[in-house]
Amino acid sequence: MADLVAHGVAHRDEHGSAGAHSQNLRHHFDNMSQQFEAGNLGMWVFLATEVLFFGGLFASYTVYRALYLPGFEIGSHLLDVRFGAANTAVLIGSSLSMALAIRAAQTGRRNAQVFLLVLTMILGAAFLGIKFSFEWRNDYLEHLIPGVNFLYRPEWGANAPHVQLFFCFYFIMTSLHAIHMIIGIGLLSVLTWMAARGRFSPDYYTPLEVSGLYWHFVDIVWIFLFPLLYLIGGRYGIGGGH
Amino acid sequence: MSTAVTEIPQESRVHYLNVSYGVKSWLLTVDHKRIALLYLVSITFMFLVGGVAAVLMRIHLIEPAGALVQPETYNKLFSAHGIIMVFFFLVPSIPATLGNFLVPLMIGAKDLAFPKLNLLSWYIYIVGALFTLYAVISGGVDTGWTFYTPYSSTYSHSAVIPVAIGVFITGFSSILTGLNFIVTIHKMRAPGLTWFRLPLFIWSIYATSVIFILGTPVLAITIFLLGVERLFHVGIFDPAVGGDPLLFQHLFWFYSHPAVYIMILPGMGVVSELIAAFSRKRIYGYTMVAYSSFAIAIISFLVWGHHMFVTGQSIYAGLIFSVLSFLVAIPSAIKVFNWTATLYKGSISYEAPMLYALGFIGLFTMGGLTGLFLAALATDVHLSGTYFIVAHFHYIMVGGAVMAYMGGLHYWWPKISGRMYPDMWARVAAVIIFVGFNLTFFPQFMLGYLGMPRRYAVYPPEFQVFNVMSSAGASILGIGYLIPLVYFIWSMRYGPIAPANPWGAKGLEWTVPSPPPTENFEETPVVTEEAYDYAPIPEGQHG
Amino acid sequence: MSSHVVPLKVYIGVFLALLFLTGLTTWVAFIDLGSFNTVVALAIATVKMLLVILFFMHVRSSSGLTRVVVAAGFFWLALLIAFTLSDELTRKWSPIPSSWGPGTSQSQPQ
């Protein structure tokens, strides 16, 4: 039995680097590199689950868009492209500030970390503000919220049920996305507090890195939601809107 | 079995069970071994709840007109039985108990990659279970565990929302467990432990974890959409807006078919361990068995439409799904062939774990073969919605997965508890379970073939004989399950103290004391041998 | 730590590219290309996604394992979509005979 393993190698150590004796090293890991890689891989695996989670919605959307394109076009034209495009730019900006915040940790600049994390949160909040106070409020006033006050319009003709179906997707998909944004902003507020306390350094910034991955993922979801919801069927006039 | 590891007598040795006492030390633990036991207690409880539903159903079905409950109640019983057994027992069973306990030990690690996430997984499971139990108590659901729309979204007047919330929440428990296993197996293997030196149990847990990650989120979004439709009275499955109820089924089965492989793959991993240990021989064709776990995980995602052959699904989709369903049988068959080849000229002993493993091979094969009847479009038209299906999946889930789970519990019980269970009672219980199981479910193949529909509270009188046989078998099966429950608990206090390696088996988990210390290994082991590196059996000493 | 420090100008460059592509996709949507509109929109979205993944999410300097995980998620979604469409889009290929009863000559949701 004793020949199965060679009891010679003790707990692996890395002297000299910010390795085994860093106060941030969890005891079940051998060194910081292993811990960072584990955290990174863990977040990527989680993001794979998120791809499938949103993916169920995208798959359903694909089915119905293929079946009911005219109704979906009508619905899409009732969305305001300007808000959609502006929100896309806002989120892209927040991804930039998030990436720069991580870079600030990698280069040991604490004030820049805090500033950039706060900026990311502000941009995220701006996205939500535009969505809730402008877009959804307009949709409510225009009776376009299924299950709440959706009204069919005569000019939709036989496509009317499918317009409602489109708006089911619009609200479900953007709500789910918004929930993820809110969770992200919550994460960022914790990170900002940690960054302000000086918790991150070139040797340890794993929470920033993995939260950044999450934030960028939420951005990618919107990168697809924008054309799929707002840009169906082309717009042959200016602005769109109602 | 003697062991070369010298040990301090257990009473004075500190290990993971006695290192700290008190409720808080258990409810706030991050030790994977304690979390495994938390899961063991929880899923045993849920198994008993689901079992009670089954007992009530089988009593009711003694009479053609129904002997016990109203049809509406019967519908709630089979729904509760399915939901609880699938989501709260079978899916977590081996991964969350044996997997949590063994994965770090088998790979030479101190714990999983994310110990706190592991504890969170358990709490999430508990919250989901509480929602579901609340729903059961407040009247239950009558939709079946499959929640098909539009009945579940529009017409059912039962507690769909609480159950949906419960299942939705519990899904995240699976996802986090799978995530933990994948990262752990990739990043925390001991030096020298290459992929092809891993125990096959680890391969099967890894493949199962891949299914957890890729499948469960789709169930989550499907349940979410069902809830939205039920709450807002309009949604994407609603025909009034052009929605397609079959889309629900596509999304549901995209998870739920791979889910059945979540339920069986870990069992197959356990069986590999048991066959190797009790034949004292390396698993024949180790590499093929390892790859077959992956093949099963991948192909399992491509066959879900075989649950929808008679729903009005396109015949062309049906053809594709049928062919792929035949394909998925091949890697499972490879495993059965390789286990059998391992037994050949092995030094076989018939302890209780081996009895369960041998039972698994026979019963899983029967269940798998009857799956081929169902993969063929023409025969499926006749058999779909009948008791043939019920028998098919119970042969795999109970005759397969539960027996593997029991075998694994017995095999690793000495490591988990530091005690031996009573050997004679264990073998008797294994035989009782085998007999009771077959008496319960074999008649159901006959019933299904003869045309008795499933999920019906009443049936024509000509089916009564088989139904009575099945119910008689269920009572024997129930007794068979209660016996280990009693002696496992008994053994924790009165069982003989177990040595580090009571079976003389190969594997890193047998190199640490029984029970292990909290940190598992005093020094990180270095692995230099292949898996199952048993000494070759001298000529003339086979069998 | 395993991640390199990405130069500032790379991040800025990616950001500007993303903004440009957003403008581009919006502009193209106002031009009638028929069903090609969808193809262009999805292609541009895919390019944007790849920019975010490779640069902001550091996959460009990540291990092969990370890339496999990323690819697996999207590939699996593609499987879900493809196989579901194999049913939803081909139901009308074999209409149900009207002899099966009233209202059965259409097999598609309305």
User: Model confidence over A199-213: pLDDT tens digits?
Assistant: 999 989 999 999 999
**Residue A25 falls within a domain, yes or no?**
no
Residue A24 is predicted with a pLDDT of 84
pLDDT band at B421 (very low <50, low <70, confident <90, very high): very high
- Residues C110 and C100: their CA atoms lie apart, in Å, by 19
Compare A2 and A53 and report the one with higher pLDDT: A53
Sign of CA dihedral C69, C71, C74, C76: negative
Residue C99 is predicted with a pLDDT of 75
- Cβ–Cβ of C90/B218 closer than 8 Å? no
Region B292-299 average pLDDT: 96
Region B372-395 average pLDDT: 96
pLDDT at A44 over 70: yes
Q: Whose CA is closest to C75, among B298, A29, B481, A133?
A: B298
Is the minimum CB–CB distance between B527 and chain A shorter than 8 Å? yes
CATH number of the CATH domain containing A137: 1.20.120.80
pLDDT at B543 over 50: no
Asked if the bond preceding B515 is cis, omega within 30° of 0, the reply is: yes
DSSP B386: B
Residue B416 is predicted with a pLDDT of 97
Q: Which residue has the tokens 């264990």?
A: B426
**Residue A24 falls within a domain, yes or no?**
no
Contact list, B231 vs chain A (CB under 8 Å): 147
Contact list, C79 vs chain B (CB under 8 Å): 301-302
- Cβ–Cβ of A161/B241 closer than 8 Å? yes
How far from the centroid of its chain's Cα atoms is residue B525's Cα? Answer: 30
Size of interface A-B (CB pairs under 8 A): 152
A83 Cβ contact partners less than 8 Å away, ≥ 6 residues apart: A130, A131, A134, A135
- Cβ–Cβ of A51/C6 closer than 8 Å? no
Q: Which helix (H) or strand (E) holds B255?
A: helix B245-279
A30 to chain B: nearest residue by CA? B188
Compare B418 and B6 and report the one with higher pLDDT: B418
Residue B19 is predicted with a pLDDT of 92
Is the minimum CB–CB distance between C49 and chain A shorter than 8 Å? yes
Is the minimum CB–CB distance between C93 and chain B shorter than 8 Å? yes
Region B493-508 average pLDDT: 95
pLDDT band at B128 (very low <50, low <70, confident <90, very high): very high
Q: Which residue has the tokens 């598992």?
A: B520
Is the minimum CB–CB distance between A63 and chain B shorter than 8 Å? yes
Residue B374 is predicted with a pLDDT of 97
pLDDT band at B248 (very low <50, low <70, confident <90, very high): very high
How far from the centroid of its chain's Cα atoms is residue B39's Cα? Answer: 13
Is the minimum CB–CB distance between B250 and chain C shorter than 8 Å? yes
For chain A, the straight-line distance linking the first and the last C-alpha, in angstroms and rounded, comes to 78
pLDDT band at A45 (very low <50, low <70, confident <90, very high): very high
Residue A20 is predicted with a pLDDT of 45
- Cβ–Cβ of C83/B313 closer than 8 Å? no
- Residues B53 and B223: their CA atoms lie apart, in Å, by 23
Residue A213 is predicted with a pLDDT of 96
Structural domain harbouring A55: 32-230
Residue C34 is predicted with a pLDDT of 82
Average model confidence (pLDDT) for chain B?
A: 94
Sign of CA dihedral B299, B302, B305, B309: negative
Q: Which of residues 124-183 of A touch B (CB under 8 A)?
A: 146-148, 150, 161-162, 164-165, 168-169, 172, 176
pLDDT band at C94 (very low <50, low <70, confident <90, very high): confident
From the list A38, A49, A71, the residue facing B213 with the nearest CB is A49
**Residue A64 falls within a domain, yes or no?**
yes
Helices A206-225 and A81-106, packing angle to 10 deg: 160
- Cβ–Cβ of C86/B317 closer than 8 Å? yes
pLDDT at A18 over 70: no
Region B430-444 average pLDDT: 98
Residue C97 is predicted with a pLDDT of 72
Look at A182-186, B73-77, B290-294, B312-316 and tell me which has the smallest mean pLDDT. B312-316
pLDDT band at C3 (very low <50, low <70, confident <90, very high): low
DSSP B63: S
Is the minimum CB–CB distance between B504 and chain C shorter than 8 Å? no
Distances (CA, A) of A34 to B47, B213, B520, C34: 38, 22, 19, 51
Helices B423-450 and B403-417, packing angle to 10 deg: 160
- Cβ–Cβ of B183/A147 closer than 8 Å? no
Look at A1-10, B184-193, B242-251, B460-469 and tell me which has the smallest mean pLDDT. A1-10
- When divided into structural domains, chain A yields a total of 1
Is the minimum CB–CB distance between C43 and chain A shorter than 8 Å? no
pLDDT band at C2 (very low <50, low <70, confident <90, very high): very low
| Cβ(B275)–Cβ(B283) below 8 Å | yes
How far from the centroid of its chain's Cα atoms is residue B75's Cα? Answer: 24
pLDDT band at A21 (very low <50, low <70, confident <90, very high): low
Residue A7 is predicted with a pLDDT of 37
User: So what's the architecture of B29-511 in CATH?
Assistant: Up-down Bundle (1.20)
Look at A16-30, B40-54, B162-176 and tell me which has the smallest mean pLDDT. A16-30
Alpha helices for B344-454 (secondary structure H): 352-375, 377-383, 387-396, 403-417, 423-450
The tens digit of pLDDT for each residue in A175-207 reads 999 999 999 999 999 999 999 999 999 989 999
- Find which of B221, B250, B304 to mutate to test the C interface (most C CBs within 10 Å of its CB): B250
Residue A54 is predicted with a pLDDT of 97
Task: Count the helix, strand and coil residues of chain B and give each as a percent rounded to the nearest 5.
Answer: 70, 0, 30
pLDDT band at B538 (very low <50, low <70, confident <90, very high): low
Q: Which residue has the tokens 């863990």?
A: A42
pLDDT at B48 over 80: yes
Neighbour-count burial for B169-192, b at 16+ CB within 10 Å, e otherwise:
bbbbbbbbbbbbbbbbbbbbbbee
**Residue A22 falls within a domain, yes or no?**
no
Q: Does the model's pTM come out above 0.95?
A: no
pLDDT at A141 over 50: yes
pLDDT at C107 over 70: no
pLDDT at C4 over 70: yes
Residue B58 is predicted with a pLDDT of 97
pLDDT band at A11 (very low <50, low <70, confident <90, very high): very low
Q: Whose CA is closest to B417, among B425, B405, B409?
A: B409
Q: Whose CA is closest to A63, among A161, A152, A160, A166?
A: A166
| Cβ(B261)–Cβ(B254) below 8 Å | no
Region B330-340 average pLDDT: 97
pLDDT band at A10 (very low <50, low <70, confident <90, very high): very low
Is the minimum CB–CB distance between B454 and chain A shorter than 8 Å? no
pLDDT band at B10 (very low <50, low <70, confident <90, very high): low
From A222's Cα to the closest Cα of chain B, the distance in A is 17
pLDDT at A126 over 50: yes
Region C5-30 average pLDDT: 94
Neighbour-count burial for A203-238, b at 16+ CB within 10 Å, e otherwise:
bbbbbbbbbbbbbbbbbbbbbbbbbbbbbbbbbeee
**Residue A151 falls within a domain, yes or no?**
yes
Where exactly are the structural domains of chain B? 29-511
Residue B459 is predicted with a pLDDT of 96
Share of chain B above pLDDT 70, in %: 97
